[in-house]
Chain A
Amino acid sequence: MKYGWLVILFFFLVPGCGEDESIVKIDLSQKELVILKEDPDVITYAYLPQYSHTVSYTRHQPLIQYLKKETGLNIKQIFPDTFGQHMEMVGQKKIDISYSNPFIYVKIAHRYGAKAFARIVEKTGKDQFRGQIICRADNTSIMSISDCRKKRWIAVDSTSAGGYLYPLGHFMDHGITSQDFTQISFAPGPGGKQEKVILSVYAGEYDIGTIREGALDVVSGKIDADEIRIVATTQPYPGWVYAARKNMDKAVVEKLKQAFEQLDFNQKHHQEILESANFIKVLASDDSQFDPVRQLTARVGLNLEQ
């Protein structure tokens, strides 16, 4: 063929035009209704939505896997959106195991009969924690606690221990009452409230913010920590607590309690779990260990029913 080379050249130059993906033929006519299937004998575990659900999940999922393995219980982490929802779900028995701050605990204990059975030891090595009052590092008008008067205050939540209750007590100890602030706001929910307080102060939206000790570490990747200055730190109070809802099977509680107590920071596997959960140890506890919190609540005039 005289011009065969042209044809060859043409096909050589022209790339393949076909689709290279495989095609799956499906029939959309067969349909089903979506029905949520709940697993039987599920022990629900909820972390007070101090942070976002993702953070909560990330922190506690290894621990839950550990507990499931150690206790043989079908433990499932659930994620209430707000502190209030968390408390209500305890009352509704939708949360079997509650991990919350001591202020919430005294509330659910008061309202719904929850019982503390374990408490954590902070990374600091203390079984107590403190609240912190922060402002922007460049805010020269706030150099001491007394400078917080007439300032805009954002707290984590009205049910927050380190983020509201403890700083409020601290302010009162220094003669500053709620009326001394030009504005008291709470971080909008759900979840991530500690971060929101820090970010609000960082953004200059509020003059001061109150957070629990250690919260700054959570946002260290998001903002420059040096831009935030700690104005004051409260005295320590009992730390976070594991509580079982009212009428929880005691055997289950005991299994969990033992599993918690077996966590040993010196064991590598446990260490990873504990570091993920942001504490180093879980101690057995009971309700009486949270009386200082009840007393503080009474002192600052907060109502456990609210």
Chain B
Amino acid sequence: MKLGFRGKIYWGFFSLILIQSLVLLLWGSHVMKESMLEEIKSHGVSIGITLSARMTEPLLAMDFLRMKTLVDETADLEDDIFYSFVLDEKGDPLVHTFKDGFPLALKTANIIPDNRKGSMQILDIGNQFIYDYAVPIQVNDHQLGTLRLGLFQTRAKKAVNKIIISAAVTILVTILVAGILGTLLLNPVTKNIQKLHDSTQQALRGNLDVKTAPVLKENCWDIMQCHKSECPAYKNYHHRCWYMAGTLCPTCVEGEYAKKIESCQQCQVYRKCSGDEIQSLAESFDTMTLSLKGNLSDLKIAEQVLKEQKSLLQTILDAIPDFISLQDHQGKYISVNRAFCEMLNKNKQEIIGRTNHDLFPPKWADQYTREDKRLFETGHTLVKENRIVRLQKSKWLHVVKIPVLEENGLVQGLVCSGRDITQLKEVQAQLTHSQKMESVGRLAAGVAHEINTPLGIILGYAQLLLEDVEKDGVIYKDITTIVKQTKICSRIVADLLNFSRSNDSIVTEFDINKTIEEVLEVVEHTFSLDHVKVKRGYHEHPLMMKGDKEKLKQVFINLLNNAFDATMEKGGSIFVDTGIEKDKNNIKISISDTGHGIAKENIGKIFEPFYTTKGPDKGTGLGLSVTFGIIKEHNGSIHVFSPPKSREGEKKGAQFIVVFPCSGLYTKKGEVNGEHSRVG
């Protein structure tokens, strides 16, 4: 189990006391023991020296009685003196305190070394130890004999044990007292730190409304007798005024902690309310959490705004059909929009942080990297058009790369914007083609106009010749062929003239149903001969519109003839329907057939002049071009569906839907599922 701060403090504190105590006990007791032993030894030496001095005279006088008295008196002096005896100059005992003879071993047990004034030897007599002291009995430097004194070690042991026990008891009491005092002193500290720790945990869990600082007996408003309830420090029991900005105390310097603390330290409130370092820590922690709470709140708001802005920006960027990317100074992509992702067919995570080489084929990547490098070096803007071929489809892209400059003028990154201009390119191509066709048309019309008169003369004279030759002759047959071919030429010339000439329109209001019916009355009989039926589906009410009725009849004739041509080989049906478009005030006319239909790849070309899939003598390729021109003139539109849109399930046939406005203009474009539209 890991120790907490309090545990560590107490463990450290008691360990310190224990170690110190043990050291003191062992060291102190050792020193005291040594001192005591030294004292005891000194005591023995002292007794020995004294006795030795007193022994000189009787020894000289060989006064055995006095010597015996002295050794006996000395032995009786203290309980721990085991023996005392005197050896003569030769080392033989003269007097001793032993009751039953002198132990021989003692004679040589403790010899005074040369140049020494005494000697102490510990003797092991079996059951205990003896401190044996040998002191010379001498006059001047001449040794008369030796005094020996034996002390039981028991006394020394007892004294040492007493010292050790006393020291141990003293140390235990010291530890106890130190422990109690330490606990009393440490408890508030550890308690406050525990509180601080709890508050930190709370803060980490997100609760920044912590109150760690202690509640004081006297607060700033009490000390200053202040009643300014608008002051942020007023009645704020957990935050000290010197930490708070915007306090209203007259002696207080305005500003935050760093600015005001020096003046606050001179204030009596600070002197009375400021505590020790722990209290200051708790107070500053509370203030920090309070400040953090405010800052976090601001940060959250800012984050929310930023998030919204980012989302808005991303939405805008993603909504833009152009692809947009931002690269950093290393060429890594750091932001892209949806169009960019779609172009690369990757998601954003697969692109961010990657380089050109990660995203593009090596050939393009090298080219793009070279371009980027040049832009980083020059800081110029790059505008270019790229043609990309992928999956056998080609795309044209208009690309603009703009360097993003830092304040110091260095290029920080690149913004790249690109647009798919494939459609524009196609329109441009169509426009060019149209202009070319228009020129061709004008040339053809000019030629037609010039050859119309000679054709009329050729036809007139050919018809006159028919009257002059025999009908059964070869010449008649040849002239008939001339007449027939001339008429074909005349029809071609007439179509060319209709295509090129913009005749003045005679605008009237008429019912479109009736107009179609008038056209059908003319062509229906011809259709029926080839078993082609016309099925009508008119709107129940007359559909009135303004326009050139005759020109519109030409439109319907062309469409019906085309439908007939497509169905006449097998015999089929032609459906003619009229109606009003929902929610739009437009007239809708549908002419569809059950014929062979139009190939998908040809749908886009059918309105082009001189385009035809019919045989050389059946069509000029100008019918639908003329039709389109008339519809355009009436602000209408024509839509082609093959197979027909209105008859689901059928795979053959075609449907032309012509829409005219009843009033005003209406346009529609698009191509879906084989639909092709031309807008007038």
Instruction: Tell me the A residues contacting B by CB distance below 8 Å.
Output: 6, 9-10, 13-17, 19, 21-34, 36-37, 52-54, 56-58, 61, 77-81, 190-191
Contact A30 B105 (CB under 8 A): yes
Please indicate the chain B residues that have their CB under 8 angstroms from the CB of A61 in the complex.
139, 142
Closest chain B residue to A78 by CB distance?
B62
Q: Once the chains bind, are A17 and B30 in contact (CB under 8 Å)?
A: yes
Q: Which residues of B contact A19 (CB under 8 A)?
A: 122
The answer on a CB contact under 8 Å between B60 and A15 is no
B288 within 8 A of A: no
Are A24 and B122 in contact, with the CB atoms below 8 A?
A: yes
Asked if A54 contacts B27 (CB within 8 A), the reply is no
B94 neighbours in A (Cβ, 8 Å): 34, 36
Query: With A and B bound together, what is the CA distance between A52 and B142 in angstroms?
Result: 16
| Selected contact of B93 from candidates A13, A24, A34, A80, CB within 8 Å | A34
Task: Name the segment of B18-26, B332-340, B435-443, B463-471 touching the other chain.
Answer: B18-26
> With A14-B22, A78-B62 known to touch, is A31 a contact of B103 (CB < 8 Å)?
yes
Does residue B100 face the partner (Cβ distance < 8 Å to A)? yes
Does B218 make an interface contact (CB < 8 A)?
no
Give complex CA distance A32, B96 in Å.
11
Which B residues are in CB contact (< 8 Å) with A34? 92-96, 102
Q: Is the CB of A26 within 8 A of B106?
A: yes
- CA A61 to CA B96, docked complex, whole Å: 27
Residues 440-453 of B, flagged 1 when their CB comes within 8 A of A and 0 if not, give: 00000000000000
Which of B19, B92, B101, B110 has a CB less than 8 Å from the CB of A31? Answer: B101
The minimal Cβ–Cβ distance linking B120 to chain A, given in whole angstroms, is: 8
Q: Which residue of B lies closest to A19 (CB)?
A: B122
Interface size on B, residues (CB 8 A): 39
A37 (CB) vs chain B CBs: closest residue: B92
B residues near A77, Cβ cutoff 8 Å? 60
Query: Which A-B residue pairs are the 5 nearest by beta carbons?
Result: A31-B101, A26-B105, A53-B60, A28-B103, A79-B61
A31 and B100 contact, CB distance less than 8 A: yes
Interface residues of A: mostly helix, strand, loop or mixed?
loop
Majority DSSP secondary structure for residues of B touching A: mixed
Can you name the residue of chain A whose Cβ is closest to the Cβ of B15?
A6
- The answer, yes or no, to whether B364 is at the interface (CB within 8 Å) is no
A33 to B101 alpha-carbon distance, docked (Å): 5
State whether A28 touches B105 (Cβ < 8 A).
Answer: yes
Other A-B contacts than A24-B121, A26-B123, 5 sampled, CB-CB below 8 A, are A15-B30, A17-B30, A24-B122, A24-B124, A30-B105
A24 touches B101 (CB 8 A): no
A24 with B109: in contact, given A14-B23, A31-B100 (CB under 8 Å)?
A: yes
Query: Contacts A34-B94, A53-B57 hold; do A27 and B23 have CB atoms under 8 A apart?
Result: no
Taking Cβ atoms with an 8 Å cutoff, the residues of B that contact A are 19, 22-23, 26-27, 30, 56-57, 60-64, 92-96, 98, 100-106, 109-110, 120-126, 129, 139-140, 142
Task: Contact check, A27 vs B105: say whether CB atoms are below 8 A apart.
Answer: yes
Distance between A88 CB and nearest chain B CB, rounded to angstroms: 14
How far apart sit A15 and B33, CA to CA, in the bound complex (Å)?
Answer: 12
Residues in chain B near residue A79, CB distance under 8 A: 57, 60-62
B109–A15 CB distance below 8 A = no
From A17, A28, A191, contact of B125 by CB (8 A)? A28
The residues of B that contact A9 with a CB separation of less than 8 Å are: 19
In Å, the complex CA distance between A78 and B63 comes to 11
In the complex, chain B residues whose CB is within 8 Å of the CB of A33: 101-102
Find A80's partner among B61, B123, B129 (CB 8 Å cutoff). Answer: B61
Pair B139/A57 contact, Cβ less than 8 Å: yes
B105 and A53 contacting across the interface, CB-CB below 8 Å? no
Q: What A residues does B104 contact at CB under 8 A?
A: 30-32
Residues B26 and A14 in contact, CB atoms below 8 Å apart: yes
* Given A14-B22, A17-B26, A33-B102, A24 and B57 contact (CB-CB distance below 8 Å): no
Q: How far, in whole Å, are A167 and B142 apart by their CA atoms in the complex?
A: 37
Contact (Cβ within 8 A) B60 A23: no
Nearest A residue to B94 via CB reads A34
- Cβ–Cβ < 8 Å partners of A32 in chain B: 101-102, 104
Report the bound CA distance from A222 to B396 in whole Å: 137
> In the complex, which residue of chain B has the Cβ closest to the Cβ of A31?
B101
Partner of A14, one of B27, B98, B102: B27
- Taking a contact as CB atoms closer than 8 A, the residue among B57, B101, B126 that contacts A54 in the complex is B57
Determine the residue in chain A with the shortest Cβ distance to B57: A53
| CB-defined contacts of A29 to chain B, threshold 8 Å | 103
18 pairs across A/B with beta carbons < 8 Å? A6-B19, A10-B22, A14-B22, A17-B30, A19-B122, A22-B121, A23-B123, A27-B125, A28-B126, A30-B103, A31-B100, A33-B101, A33-B102, A37-B92, A53-B60, A56-B60, A61-B142, A77-B60
Distance of A25 Cα from B30 Cα, bound (Å): 25
Most B CB contacts (10 A, CB to CB) among A22, A57, A58 go to: A57
Chain B hits for A190, CB < 8 A: 61
Complex CA gap A98/B381 in Å reads 145
A contact residues around B57 at 8 Å (CB): 52-54, 79, 191
* B residues near A54, Cβ cutoff 8 Å: 56-57, 60, 139
CB-nearest residue of chain A relative to B124? A25
Cβ of A6: which chain B residues have Cβ within 8 Å of it? 19
A residues in contact with B93, CB < 8 Å: 34
**Contact indicator A31/B139 (Cβ below 8 Å):** no
Taking CB atoms, residues of chain A closer than 8 Å to B95 are 34
Contacts of B61 in A (CB 8 A): 53, 78-81, 190
Return B87 CB to nearest CB of chain A, in Å: 10
User: B103 — nearest CB in chain A belongs to which residue?
Assistant: A28
State in angstroms the CA–CA spacing of A104 and B666 once bound together. 179
Among B63, B110, B123, B142, the residue within 8 A (CB) of A81 is B63
User: Which residue in chain B gives the minimum CB-CB distance to A276?
Assistant: B140
From known contacts A13-B23, A15-B30, A23-B122, infer whether A57 and B103 are also in contact, taking CB-CB under 8 Å.
no
Q: What residues on A are CB-neighbors of B23 within 8 Å?
A: 10, 13-14
Give chain A nearest CB distance to B97 CB in angstroms. Answer: 12
Across-interface contacts of B30 in A (CB, < 8 A): 15-17
A57-B60 contact given A14-B26, A19-B122, A34-B96, CB 8 Å threshold? yes
Question: Is the pair A53, B125 in contact by a Cβ cutoff of 8 Å?
Answer: no
How many Å lie between the Cα of A58 and that of B141 in the bound state?
10
Give the complex CA separation of A6 and B26 in angstroms. 16
Contact B27 A15 (CB under 8 A): yes
Query: Nearest CB to that of B58 among chain A residues?
Result: A53
Nearest CB in chain A: distance from B594 CB, A: 99
CA distance A13 to B102 in the complex (A): 47
Assembled-state Cα–Cα distance A37/B106 (Å) = 19
Residues of B with C-beta under 8 A to A28: 103, 105-106, 125-126
Q: How far is the CA of A58 from the CA of B122 in the complex (A)?
A: 34
B122-A22 in contact (CB<8A): yes
Chain A residues contacting B125 (CB-CB under 8 Å) are: 26-28
Q: How far is the CA of A233 from the CA of B543 in the complex (A)?
A: 190
Q: Which residues of A contact B60 (CB under 8 A)?
A: 53-54, 56-57, 77, 79
Q: Is the CB of B109 within 8 A of A58?
A: no
Nearest residue, chain A, Cβ from B104 = A30
**Cβ contacts under 8 Å, A27 to chain B:** 103, 105, 125-126
Closest to B125 in A: A28
Contacts of A15 in B (CB 8 A): 26-27, 30
- When chains A and B are docked, how far (Å) is the Cα of A38 from the Cα of B101? 20
Query: Which residue of chain B has the shortest Cβ distance to A76 in the bound complex?
Result: B62
Query: How far is B37's CA from A17's CA once the two chains are assembled, in angstroms?
Result: 13
Is B123 a contact of A24 with CB atoms below 8 Å? Answer: yes
Residues of A within 8 A of B62 (CB): 78-79
Smallest Cβ distance from A79 to chain B, in angstroms? 4
The verdict on A31 contacting B122 (CB below 8 Å), with A23-B129, A37-B92 known, is no
Known: A53-B57, A53-B60. A26 touches B101 (CB 8 A): no
Which of A9, A22, A78, A79 is most buried by chain B, counting CB atoms within 10 A of its CB?
Answer: A79
Give the nearest-CB partner of A21 in chain B: B122
State in angstroms the CA–CA spacing of A293 and B124 once bound together: 63
Across-interface contacts of B101 in A (CB, < 8 A) = 31-33
CB-CB under 8 A from A25, the residues of chain B are 123-124, 126
**Contact A13-B27, Cβ < 8 Å, known A34-B93, A53-B57, A191-B57:** yes
CB distance from B412 to the nearest CB of A (A): 54
